[in-house]
């Protein structure tokens, strides 16, 4: 059975597609099958629906990891609660927006902050680099490499094959 991860930020063009692509890269680097873990991303807003990942984030991903970013922005929908096993919010604002769509709290245990899986960084949220410069995008890539590595380790420790 495929374990499904959903990475969520505000517009789904910077942080969450970067997390999705970095996680897919790490799964592949370990020589594992994407059949075991499926990754997707979404945004809590509708600002960029249909857009490709931000070119600045794509450049940072390529510069830091040599990976090309894929994806098309979409908005988080209530059915994502049933579709995904784990939903990873990039910051507290998005975390709250996701939980607001689950008023009964039925799926609350599936929603986590991405930085909860960091093993080296102490930041509690992935900062939004959208209005900043190159340094902010590179910082997000470094943070997501740490968080994705910790998430992958968490999945392995909990016998979720990658």
Domain-by-domain residue ranges, the chain? 3-158
User: How confident is the model over 20-41, as pLDDT tens digits?
Assistant: 999 999 999 987 766 789 999 9
Q: Which residues pair with 4 in a beta bridge?
A: 38
Q: Is the pTM of this model over 0.95?
A: yes
Mean pLDDT of 64-87: 97
Handedness of CA 18, 8, 149, 134 (dihedral sign): positive
Residue in the block written with tokens 């499926």: 38
Residue 110 is a catalytic residue? no
Q: What is the pLDDT of residue 75?
A: 98
Residue 128 is a catalytic residue? yes
Whole-number Cα distances in Å, 72 to 19, 51, 103, 148: 14, 5, 28, 20
Residue 147 has pLDDT above 80, yes or no: yes
Choice among 9, 14, 118, 148 that is catalytic: 9
Choice among 14, 15, 54, 80 that is catalytic: 15
**Can you name the CATH fold of 3-158?**
Rossmann fold (3.40.50)
Whole-number Cα distances in Å, 49 to 16, 23, 132, 157: 13, 22, 21, 35
Choice among 40, 54, 128, 146 that is catalytic: 128
Structure tokens, 127: 């900062």
Residue 54 is a catalytic residue? no
Mean pLDDT of 136-145: 98
Q: What is the pLDDT of residue 1?
A: 83
> What's the chain's average pLDDT?
95
Nearest to 149 by CA among 69, 128, 42, 157: 157
Residue 54 has pLDDT above 70, yes or no: yes
Q: What is the pLDDT of residue 30?
A: 85
HSE-up (13 A, CA, CB side) for residue 44: 19
């Amino acid at each position: 059975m495929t374990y499904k991860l959903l990475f969520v930020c505000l517009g789904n063009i910077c942080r969450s597609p970067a997390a999705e692509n970095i996680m897919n890269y790490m799964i592949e680097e370990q020589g594992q099958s994407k059949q075991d873990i499926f990754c997707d991303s979404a945004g809590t807003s509708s600002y960029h629906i249909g857009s490709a990942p931000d070119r600045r984030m794509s450049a940072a991903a390529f510069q830091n990891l040599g990976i090309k970013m894929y994806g098309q922005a979409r908005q988080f929908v209530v059915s994502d609660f049933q579709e995904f096993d784990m939903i990873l919010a990039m910051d507290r604002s998005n975390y709250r927006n996701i939980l607001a769509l689950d008023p009964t709290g039925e799926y609350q245990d599936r929603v986590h902050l991405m930085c909860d899986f960091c093993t080296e960084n102490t930041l509690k949220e992935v900062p939004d680099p959208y209005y900043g410069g190159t340094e902010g995008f590179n910082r997000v890539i470094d943070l997501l490499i740490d968080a994705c590595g910790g998430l992958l380790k968490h999945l392995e420790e909990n016998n979720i094959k990658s």
